[in-house]
Amino acid sequence: AIDVENYHTYEEVMAYLAELASTNPLVTTMVAGSSIEGRDIVQATISSDLSANKPIAWFDCNIHAREWITAATCVWIIDTITTGYGSDPEITALVDQYDWKFVPIANPDGYAFSWTNDRLWRKNRAVNPGSVCVGVDLNRNFPVGFGGTGSSNGPCSETFHGAAEFSEPESITLKNLIAADAGRVKTAISMHSYSQLWLSSYSYSSALPAEYPEMLRAMRAGVDALTATYGTVYDYGSTGTVLYIASGTTTDHYYKNEGVVHSYTIELRDTGLYGFELPPRLIVPTAIETWNGIKAFINAI
Q: Taking CB under 6 A as the rule, does residue 139 contact ligand 0X9?
A: yes
Residue 199: contacted member of ligand 0X9, Zn ion, none (CB under 5 to 8 Å, by partner type):
ligand 0X9
Dihedral sign from CA coordinates of 32, 286, 217, 89: positive
Strands (E), the chain: 27-34, 40-46, 56-61, 99-103, 185-193, 197-200, 235-238, 262-268
For residue 265, the partner it binds in Zn ion, ligand 0X9, none, with Cβ less than 5 to 8 A by kind, is ligand 0X9
Residue 198, beta-bridge partner list = 236, 266
Closest approach, Cβ 245 to ligand 0X9, in A, equals 9
- Kindly tell me which of 54 and 192 has the beta carbon lying closer to ligand 0X9: 192
Q: Which of 232, 247, 249, 290 binds ligand 0X9 (CB under 6 A)?
A: 249
| 203 near ligand 0X9 (CB under 6 A) | yes
Name the residue nearer to Zn ion (CB basis): 186 or 253: 253
Q: Which of 69, 65, 195, 191 has its CA nearest to residue 122?
A: 65
CB 283 within 8 A of CB 7: yes
> Positive or negative, the Cα torsion across 155, 200, 64, 267?
positive
Binding of ligand 0X9 by 246 (CB under 6 A): yes
Query: Which of 250, 286, 290, 292 touches ligand 0X9 by CB under 6 A?
Result: 250
Which DSSP state fits 258?
T
246 binds, among ligand 0X9, Zn ion, none (CB under 5 to 8 A by kind): ligand 0X9
Burial class, 240, CB count within 10 angstroms (exposed 0-12 / middle 13-18 / buried 19+): buried
Is residue 265 involved in binding ligand 0X9 (CB under 6 A)?
yes
What DSSP line would sit under 268-301, residue for residue?
A: ES-SSSSTT---GGGHHHHHHHHHHHHHHHHHH-
Q: Which is nearer to Zn ion, 63 or 226 (CB)?
A: 63
Q: Is 244 exposed, middle or buried (0-12, 13-18, 19+ CB in 10 A)?
A: exposed
Interactions with ligand 0X9, residue window 147-186 (CB under 6 A): none
Q: Name which position in 47, 187, 232, 239 contacts ligand 0X9 (CB under 6 A).
A: 239
* Active-site residue set: 267
Instruction: Map residues 175-214 to x or -, x wherever contact with Zn ion holds by CB under 5 A.
Output: -----------------x----------------------
DSSP string, 138-176: GGG-SSTTTT-TT-BS-TTSTTB--SSTT-SHHHHHHHH
Nearest to 251 by CA among 288, 226, 215: 215
| Site map (CB under 6 A) of ligand 0X9, residues 35-64, x = contact | -----------------------------x
Contact with ligand 0X9 (CB under 6 A): which of 199, 219, 266, 287?
A: 199
> What residue ranges bind ligand 0X9 (CB under 6 A)?
64, 67, 139, 190, 192, 199, 203, 239, 243, 246, 249-251, 265, 267
> What residue ranges bind Zn ion (CB under 5 A)?
64, 192
